Amino acid sequence: MPKFYKTFYVQKISIFILGFSIGVISIWPGMISGNSRKCFFNILKDGSDGSVKIGTLFSINPNYLIKIKKNKNKYFKILLIGDACFRRF
């Protein structure tokens, strides 16, 4: 019986990971390209200390900058940064 449960959970976990990956890639199709990921991590790294470089600001659409500044929730800020980098490809 324990072997059945192990294979059952491995199947569930693999299906969950596959579904999650397909879902994220369908929402943010630019996630596959390396330049988009570099953009995302550069923005997070640059903005983590509180001061942002001018080049980073020019890499984001001004509408997204306004939305990011108005938002108080950090989770939504990361989602907006992801939209700014991953939806343009």
**What domain range includes position 67?**
2-86
- pLDDT tens across 17-67, in order? 999 999 888 888 877 777 778 877 877 777 766 677 777 777 777 777 788
Quote the pTM value: 0.57
Residue 89, pLDDT score: 47
- Interaxial angle between packed helices 34-47 and 74-86, expressed in degrees from 0 to 180 and rounded to the nearest 10: 140
Residue 88, pLDDT score: 64
Please report which confidence band the pLDDT of residue 14 belongs to, taking 50, 70 and 90 as the band edges: very high
